Structure 1
Amino acid sequence: MLRELARHCASTALALSMHTHLVGTAVWRWRQGEPVEPLLRRVAEDEVVLVGTGASDWVDSSGTAKKVEGGYRVTGRKVFGSGSPAGTLLLTSAVYEDPAEGPTALHFPVPIAAEGMTVLNNWRTMGMRATGSNDILLEDVFVPESDVWLRRPTGQWHAFFTIVAAISQPLIMSVYTGLAEAASDMALGIARKKSRRGLDLNLPYLLGEMENSLVTAQLAVQNLVDLCDDYAFEPTVATADATMVRKTIAANACVRTVEKALEVAGGGGYFRGCGLERLLRDVHASRYHPLQEKRQHLFTGRVALGLDPVG
């Protein structure tokens, strides 16, 4: 669904993938017997739109949570809130300085319409402009103790991140693969028109390079999907590592595909009316989803050495 939608509007597909992977994570938790059925019913029956901040929080989290009667007061600024203009519920985290356990990341939902919540209209970017990935400001927002569903030490790997990675990456990278497929189709159409006027001897080579990059992306994303198979999935560090490696391969291949599509199109592709310009801007966003390439290399190298992946 996301791959097909991305052929027509990658921003819409990417914003939807952010909601979808949060729903998918809740489904996985429900299958483990966790009490998330009320959330899933709200999504299904009330069309609640979920917005996450995991991409910016990662293992360290951000913002502060101060203990008060009945819960916490949370203050912080969350970035990359994709879909926030239409969002209903923010799934986020903040750091509580636990007097016994030390810095502890608390994970919780909070209504975007809650007192102290502000969606900032500041998404001014090179690409993926229609995702509405604004910053979200939390100012002394009350979070009931009963809404905290996960407590974990900050800065340390947790099995939860494997679950999120395995569910999110096939969805997110499917968007960029669909975008790359659209660019490839567009470039091929231009190339066929060019060839009728006389074949440029370099054109078949360029098309071959473009196809190789596209197939690399398609294979990597299909492998991501396979890693998340219900029967094969295990929330281990090895699974997380395999997911991150394939994300990097897929992202780089998608970028190469769209750049090669522009080369195939030639000077005509440089004009905005062609459509490749938007796809080229959008595809570069693939590199900023966790883990970014060099961070993935470090993660993978540490895993290979038997070290804590984020230590």
Structure 2
Amino acid sequence: MTDRQLLSDELLERIRSRAPEYDRENRFFTEDLAELAEAGYLRALVPESFGGQGLTLREVAREQQRLAAAAPATALGVNMHLVWTGVAKAVHDRGLDFLDFVLEEAAAGEVFGFGISEAGNDLVLFGSRTEAAPEPDGGYRFTGTKVFTSLSPAWTRLGLFGLDTTSEDAPKLVHAFLRREDGGFRILDDWDTLGMRATQSSTTVLEGAKAAPDRVFRRLDPGPNPDPLIFGIFANFEVLLASVYTGIASRALELAVAAVHRRTSMKNDGAPLASDPDLRWRIADAALAYDALPPQIDAIARDVDELADHGSQWFRKLVGVKIRATETARDVVDKAIRVSGGSSYSNSAELSRLYRDVLAGMFHPSDDESAHGTVATALLGPIP
């Protein structure tokens, strides 16, 4: 079956043209988001039965690579909405309906943000510094601070979690969604970063923010957990994140090829630098590394779509594809800059922006240390 695409080449070029201004002005990608919504992209992973586009994770991963090649920060920002719809699809495909309301609301135009990260929380999904206080009606009030909250200016629903230490069955990690109109939080104007500036992933301060009972969708024990929610978050987050950085690598390689064809050598009577054996080797080396990424993402995304059972090896596969993509992308961008000359050092150069954007990959879960721990445990078992 031919892959379905929602992003036209014309749309991607308009998005590409706005990326420098968003970066320069440290401004949210408002116009991009509006066009992506109009194209149906925010409904990409929502099944047709819910009013969505019905694309597979594999198809959306490919689209995210194309979008990231045009505008990395826009792709990373919209990634967070796509992750939540992907999680809801993944659990629905596995016969569970506790996130069907996410699919219904995404089809109706709601925008989902990702409020998981917390400063100093290296447990990530397995623990929380945020307080989740139970209410008599079954709802919860959340108090704490979430960092890297992408889509801060635009989300209408914020997925988050916190620790309940007071209920009879405590401790429990409580997963819920906030509605923006219900308030109880502040979004700080503190996003002034080296790269990925248009995401506007500002800090969110929760001040007793209320999640209604019908918005509380999971209560889990702290620590590693095989729950379908945890699998769904890991699978969609890591695959789609890997896709963004693979898209950056693709664009960097394209720019490197163009640069060596454009540049000439005075030593060789004006011959294009594309004839220089050292530069040819460096570009080939970058291409050899990049070429391994799309097939890996394809294969893992297809396994998620087709409900493959990798058992305890799933997390090894998921963190592996993220680490390989983010680390390889950094290497490819570095090589692209090396062959492109001093002009790429200018802030106005696209490669300069890609260099700053690609560095963000090292900060996303799972980081290098955590990923190696996951793989070691999968192969060797836990440390006694």
Structure 1 residues 155 and 258: alpha-carbon distance in aligned structure 2, compared to 1, 3 A threshold = same
Matched residue type, 1:222:
D
Shift of residue 255, structure 1, vs aligned partner: 0.8
Match of 1:297 in 2: 372
Which stretch shows the higher mean deviation, 282-291 or 140-149? 140-149
CA distance in 2, matches of 1:259, 1:187: 10
Matched residue type, 2:324:
I
CA distance in 2, matches of 1:84, 1:240: 29
CA distance in 1, matches of 2:328, 2:319: 14
Whether 1:120 and 2:184 are equivalent positions in the alignment is no
Name the SS of the counterpart of 2:70 in structure 1. coil
Alignment of 1:279-294 (within 5 A): 279-294=354-369
| Residue from 105, 130, 143 that aligns with 2:211 | 143
CA distance in 2, matches of 1:76, 1:113: 19
Shift of residue 90, structure 1, vs aligned partner: 0.4
Contact 2:134 2:141 in 1 (8 A): yes
| Residue from 74, 86, 104 that aligns with 2:154 | 86
Alignment of 1:1-311 (within 5 A): 1-31=63-93, 32-45=95-108, 47-56=109-118, 57-70=124-137, 71-159=139-227, 160-195=229-264, 197-198=270-271, 199-233=275-309, 236-307=311-382
Higher relative contact order (CA 8 A, sep 6+): 1
CA distance in 2, matches of 1:132, 1:233: 37
Shift of residue 274, structure 1, vs aligned partner: 2.5
Name the SS of the counterpart of 1:110 in structure 2. strand
Shift of residue 209, structure 1, vs aligned partner: 1.3
Q: TM-score when scaled to structure 2?
A: 0.75
CA distance in 2, matches of 1:38, 1:244: 28
Using the aligned pairs only, state the percent identity. Answer: 26
Matched residue type, 2:295:
L
Contact 2:134 2:167 in 1 (8 A): no
Aligned-CA RMSD value: 2.0
Name the SS of the counterpart of 1:69 in structure 2. coil
Shift of residue 64, structure 1, vs aligned partner: 0.3
Structure 1 residues 55 and 67: alpha-carbon distance in aligned structure 2, compared to 1, 3 A threshold = closer
CA distance in 1, matches of 2:86, 2:321: 20
Shift of residue 99, structure 1, vs aligned partner: 4.8
Contact 2:86 2:232 in 1 (8 A): no
Matched residue type, 1:218:
P
CA distance in 2, matches of 1:231, 1:58: 22
Ranges in structure 1 where 5+ consecutive residues have no aligned partner: none
Name the SS of the counterpart of 1:186 in structure 2. helix
CA distance in 2, matches of 1:35, 1:66: 21
Name the SS of the counterpart of 2:190 in structure 1. coil
Matched residue type, 1:66:
A
CA distance in 2, matches of 1:50, 1:226: 24
Aligned length in residues: 307
Shift of residue 298, structure 1, vs aligned partner: 1.1
Shift of residue 114, structure 1, vs aligned partner: 1.8
Contact 1:184 1:261 in 2 (8 A): yes
Which stretch shows the higher mean deviation, 210-219 or 190-199? 190-199
Structure 1 residues 85 and 62: alpha-carbon distance in aligned structure 2, compared to 1, 3 A threshold = same
Shift of residue 174, structure 1, vs aligned partner: 1.1
Ranges in structure 2 where 5+ consecutive residues have no aligned partner: 1-62, 119-123
Contact 1:7 1:182 in 2 (8 A): yes
